[in-house]
A and B are shown apart, each in its own frame.
Chain A
Amino acid sequence: MKELLANDKNAASRAEACCSSSQVTMGGSAPQPLSIPMAQTQEDDTPCCGPKPGPPSSPFEKPGYRMWHFVSGFAETPVGAIPRIATTLKATDFAGTFRARLGICRDRYRVAPGLYSAGDPGAESPVLVTANYKLSFDSLRRELNSIDAWILVLDTRGVNVWCAAGKKTFSTEELIRQVNGVGLNRLVSHRELILPQLGAPGISAQAVKKGCGFKVIWGPIRASDLKTFLRNGRKAEGKMRQLTFSIAERILLIPVELSLIVKPSMIILLAVFFLSGIGPHIFSFSAAWFRGLNGAAAYILGVLAGAVVAPILLPWLPRRQFYIKGIWTGLVVGFIGVLSLGNDIGRLEFLALVLVSTAVSSYAAMNFTGATPFTSPSGVEKEMRQGIPIQIIAVAVATIAWVAAPFVN
């Protein structure tokens, strides 16, 4: 059995970072040299209490660290023991993906930055660079079966490559820091790094070359094209270099989009219930509740129309401006939805409710621009200058109509 190396740089990669913050106990001091005795196998078969004990601890376990389930072993290298990762995903990975997609603990879903290995890499093997968002890491490693490679994970604060490049955490400086930090030049004989193309906004290839001597090779956008890329002499062309935004990709973004709306919605719904109570009797709690429910329904219909229906129907909705796409879905969903609320809704109230759905949907759809890979900030700004005034007017008219309705009837 191997003993763990002292000062192993990648010890951190075995520490599991998860939603509960209590698990990572890195301690202040450097890891001490360890020699872990093999657990003695109990020869005598008389258990004193309960069933037989489980298997002994792995020799790679260290006090204060927790081993990731995807580490299948360690490769001895000139720069220390480097974790070897499994290239198939387990149930726990899928569960984590599922949670992250729903927006639960998404910002804590990360792996430790540093060096990993896949297969049995040597001095000639390619170095693939990625972000430390666990979904980015997983989508890379699942493509690496039968590939021998080094994987350099940058500390992007648990953000995917594209967004991290925009936020400049997937950056020239971080790349140089990691390359030097892990001692990459002592590990590989070549001087090339393969980066995902979507990292390009954050990385200057010339500056990387200057900073650490490694040449950046821009790999494909999607990890699934990586094998073809490596086979084709590291050339990515055509489709491999172009973004897509399929219906499946759009649907995957919806839950996170919704989870971001939940918080502000609470305050808005409170306001809706409050406004609904105002009437000839100054304030009526029963009106606040019963009319408020209708108001809340119109608001929620608007959210669904703008953050669910509009993204799904995106390419088929008329006009390029997202706020207009949201108006269509808000109008239709709002109209049908409010009709089905029943016929004790007056004309003025009907108008108010449909306006609310439409305005909310328009805003929510406009917000979806941030999740799409084909909108430019200049374009979004331009449409916001048109869209926001329209949304504000619609909400103002709706509020007046809603508050006035009980007085008119």
Chain B
Amino acid sequence: MQEFRYLENVTTLKLDEERCTGCGMCETVCPHTVFKVEKSKAYFADRDACIECGACTANCPVEAISVTPGVGCAAYIIQTWIKGRNAAVACC
């Protein structure tokens, strides 16, 4: 996916390195190779590639990762503007 880059510095992704146990789950589930694990700690290999899908947060056993998950789709975002984040239905 290197040929496609999207906007930089927008993702809500956060990693709490203190909590991380280095299990490697985030590296496994992320479809954009955002994480790498070395010396029992996860680190950002490519944070700007994050699409906020939420796979890493859902699967981190110690809740070391946080992200506001959602769908990167205009119609969905217009709904969140009108109805608020909780009422919007994903559209893809």
A contacts, CB < 8 Å to B: 162-163, 165-167, 197-198, 200-206, 218, 221, 241-245, 314-315, 320-321, 363, 366-367, 369-384
Contacts and interface: CB of A to CB of B under 8 A. Distances in A.
Contact of B61 (A201, A206, A373): A206
A221 B31 contact: yes
A200 B4 contact: no
Contacts of A201: 53-55, 58, 69
Given A163-B90, A245-B1, A321-B7, 20 more contacts: A167-B89, A197-B31, A200-B53, A200-B55, A200-B58, A201-B69, A204-B58, A242-B1, A320-B7, A369-B73, A370-B92, A372-B4, A373-B31, A373-B51, A374-B6, A377-B71, A378-B52, A380-B72, A380-B74, A384-B74
A198 B32 CA distance: 11
Contacts of B4: 245, 314-315, 372, 374
B7 A382 contact: yes
B29 A200 contact: yes
B71 A370 contact: yes
A372 B71 CA distance: 10
A163 to B, nearest CB: 4
A380 B32 contact: no
Contacts of A373: 1, 31, 51
B11 to A, nearest CB: 5
A368 to B, nearest CB: 8
Interface in B46-88: 49-56, 58-59, 61, 68-78, 80
Give the secondary structure class of B's interface: loop
A244 B1 contact: yes
Given A201-B55, A205-B25, A321-B7, A377 B31 contact: no
Q: How extensive is the interface on chain B, given as a class?
A: 35 or more
A369 B74 contact: yes
Interface of B: 1, 3-7, 10-12, 25, 28-33, 49-56, 58-59, 61, 68-78, 80, 89-92
Given A243-B31, A367-B73, A383 B1 contact: no
B73 A380 contact: yes
Contacts of B78: 384
Leading 3 A-B pairs by shortest Cβ distance = A370-B73, A200-B55, A377-B70
Given A242-B32, A245-B4, A376 B74 contact: no
Contacts of A370: 71-76, 91-92
Contacts of A243: 1, 31-32
Contacts of A374: 1, 4-6, 32, 49, 51
Contacts of B91: 370
A186 B54 CA distance: 33
19 contacts: A166-B69, A200-B59, A201-B53, A320-B5, A369-B74, A370-B73, A370-B91, A370-B92, A374-B6, A376-B7, A376-B51, A377-B70, A377-B73, A378-B10, A379-B7, A379-B11, A380-B74, A381-B80, A382-B10
A384 B6 CA distance: 14
Nearest to A218: B28
Nearest to B59: A205
B63 to A, nearest CB: 10
A375 B28 contact: no
